């Protein structure tokens, strides 16, 4: 029977003692299988218990991909279409508002906006869209515009990244998705998406957002070309940013969905893999808890990428969050994901309770939302009104979250950027 090597056991024991993992240790742990993988997941689950307890969170949200028109044409993306393509589309403002109206009526607290890089959209369009949507629904948290979109919008409008982020924040943007990260290794990025935002540009957008008081998520795409050392460098880069800014709310591993990806379909990239294996899925989630758990309290298992049943298993591998209801989600489905575009509150709770944990609805910033007495939502659970966002509430009174009710580490070293 295969045993756990001393170096693996030592790395896991030191993680349990609270010592940050080194690059060599993370690279080693990223390659474990068999008994060593079991030891990694057990360690991750124990760290999860110590760091965040038995609560598992989810958010009621709408994911709105408002155009598939994009000039980047990344090899892994089956969602985008070039301008003028017969199957290119863009939602009108009226259609976006209608979908958000319906989602608000169902009790969502977050609207996530992401889209392709349409050549006729710039930063001013993003600001106007943000302001218009917030004026219509001031209590909705807008989680919008990836670092790639921010860079595109800034360049197209002649703004700096900081200027655009500041304008978006002032228009009502609540936070940013930390997508377009893929793997923070320029060599890999050049192979699969040479037009994509560069590593240092991604870091610039993320850290600038944090310094302006805008939280972001952090992500990784895996199961395509990467090796263990790529995973290790990526995680340690995120850990270093989080130690500096404290601005990440969660870490979300995103598996490569290969079925309709252009690079897979057309066999244009030698060595491209057909997504992660089951072992690789377990490794990255457990590794994230071991490496990031002291700085990232929240590790999310993406049910839309992994499926609800595997996401439930990942709750025993270091994860403590299942993401959002989504309502609509176009990007993964376009790539050939077999998972649906909606998971109901009742199904979230069923999966979490079946895993022996405590289900709790949260908002985007991981403030916990109790389920008050009152009418049930159309999915069978009472859903509260979302809390006021930090800053000024509609009635003019200030509204700040109670830090004791949050499961995200507050931002550190926040300082004003020069005007």
Q: Say how many Å lie between the first and final Cα of the chain, rounded.
A: 63
Give pLDDT tens digits for 142-195: 999 999 999 999 999 999 999 999 999 999 999 999 999 999 999 999 998 888
User: Phi, psi (5° rounding) for residue 82?
Assistant: -70, 155
- What are the structure tokens assigned to 177, written together? 């998705």
Same domain, 35 and 75: no
Give pLDDT tens digits for 8-17: 999 999 999 9
Domain holding 337, by residue range, is 55-391+401-405
By three-state DSSP, how is residue 376 classified? strand
Burial class of residue 51, CB neighbours in 10 A (0-12, 13-18, 19+):
middle
Same domain, 284 and 245: yes
Same domain, 112 and 23: no
Identify which of 251, 291, 286, 242 has the alpha carbon closest to the alpha carbon of residue 409.
242
Identify which of 321, 252, 286, 205 has the alpha carbon closest to the alpha carbon of residue 33.
286
Give pLDDT tens digits for 299-314: 999 999 999 999 999 9
Same domain, 45 and 192: no
Q: Which helix (H) or strand (E) covers residue 162, if one does?
A: helix 161-171
- We report the CATH number of the domain holding residue 168 as 3.20.20.70
pLDDT score recorded for residue 387? 37
pLDDT score recorded for residue 85? 87
CA distance 135 to 178: 25
- What are the structure tokens assigned to 271, written together? 């060595």
According to DSSP, the residues that pair with 253 across neighbouring strands are: 220
CA distance 56 to 360: 6
Same domain, 179 and 245: yes
CA distance 328 to 79: 14
Query: Is residue 376 in some structural domain?
Result: yes
Q: Tell me how crowded residue 129 is: count the other CB atoms within 10 A of its CB.
A: 21
Query: Is residue 412 in some structural domain?
Result: no
Q: Which helix (H) or strand (E) covers residue 100, if one does?
A: helix 93-106
Domain count, the chain: 2
pLDDT in tens, the chain (419 residues): 479 999 999 999 999 999 999 999 999 999 999 999 999 999 999 999 999 999 999 999 999 999 988 887 777 777 778 888 898 899 999 999 999 999 999 899 999 999 988 999 999 999 999 999 999 999 999 999 999 999 999 999 999 999 999 999 999 999 999 999 999 999 999 998 888 999 999 999 999 999 999 999 999 999 999 999 999 999 999 999 999 999 999 999 999 988 777 777 778 889 999 999 999 999 999 999 999 999 999 999 999 999 999 999 999 999 999 999 988 644 344 444 454 578 999 999 999 999 999 999 999 999 999 654 333 443 444 443 433 433 323 233 333 334 344 555 455 543 333 33
Query: Is residue 410 in some structural domain?
Result: no
By three-state DSSP, how is residue 375 classified? coil
Is the entire prediction scored with pTM above 0.85? yes
Query: Is residue 169 in some structural domain?
Result: yes
Q: Which helix (H) or strand (E) covers residue 222, if one does?
A: strand 215-222
């Amino acid at each position: 029977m295969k045993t756990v090597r001393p170096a693996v056991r030592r790395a896991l024991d030191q993680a349990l003692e609270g010592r940050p993992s080194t690059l060599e240790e993370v690279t080693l742990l990223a390659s474990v299988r068999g008994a060593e993988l079991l030891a990694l997941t057990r360690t991750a689950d124990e760290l999860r218990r110590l760091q965040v307890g038995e609560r598992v969170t989810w958010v009621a949200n709408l994911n709105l991909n408002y155009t598939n028109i994009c000039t980047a044409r990344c090899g892994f993306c089956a969602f985008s279409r070039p301008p003028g393509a017969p199957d290119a589309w863009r939602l009108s403002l009226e259609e976006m508002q209608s979908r958000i109206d319906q989602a608000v009526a169902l009790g969502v607290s977050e609207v996530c906006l992401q889209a392709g890089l349409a050549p006729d959209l710039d930063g001013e369009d993003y600001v106007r869209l943000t302001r218009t949507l917030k004026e219509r629904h001031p209590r909705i948290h807008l989680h919008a515009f990836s670092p790639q979109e921010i860079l595109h919008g800034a360049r197209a409008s002649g703004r700096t990244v900081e200027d655009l982020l500041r304008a978006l924040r002032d228009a009502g943007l609540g936070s940013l998705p930390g997508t377009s990260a893929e793997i923070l290794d320029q060599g890999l990025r050049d192979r699969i998406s040479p037009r994509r935002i560069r590593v240092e540009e991604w870091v610039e957008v993320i850290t600038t957002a944090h310094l302006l008081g805008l939280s972001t998520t952090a992500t990784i795409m895996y199961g395509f070309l990467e090796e263990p050392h790529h995973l290790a460098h990526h995680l340690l880069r995120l850990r270093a940013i989080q130690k500096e800014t404290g601005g990440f709310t969660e870490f979300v591993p995103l598996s490569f969905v290969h079925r309709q990806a252009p690079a897979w379909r057309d066999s244009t990239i030698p060595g491209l893999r057909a997504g992660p294996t089951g072992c690789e899925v377990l490794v990255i989630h457990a590794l994230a808890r071991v490496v990031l758990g002291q700085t990232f309290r929240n590790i999310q298992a993406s049910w839309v990428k992994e499926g609800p049943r595997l996401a439930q298993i990942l709750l025993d591998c270091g994860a403590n969050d299942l993401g959002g209801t989504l309502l609509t989600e176009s990007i993964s489905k376009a790539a050939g994901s077999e998972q649906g575009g909606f998971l109901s509150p009742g199904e979230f709770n069923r999966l979490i309770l079946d895993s022996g944990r405590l289900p709790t609805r949260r908002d985007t910033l991981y403030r916990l939302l109790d389920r008050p007495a009152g009418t049930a939502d159309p999915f069978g659970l009472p859903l509260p009104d979302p809390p006021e966002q930090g800053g000024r509430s509609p009635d003019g009174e200030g509204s700040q979250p109670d830090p004791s009710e949050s499961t995200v580490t507050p931002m550190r070293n926040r300082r004003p950027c020069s005007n």
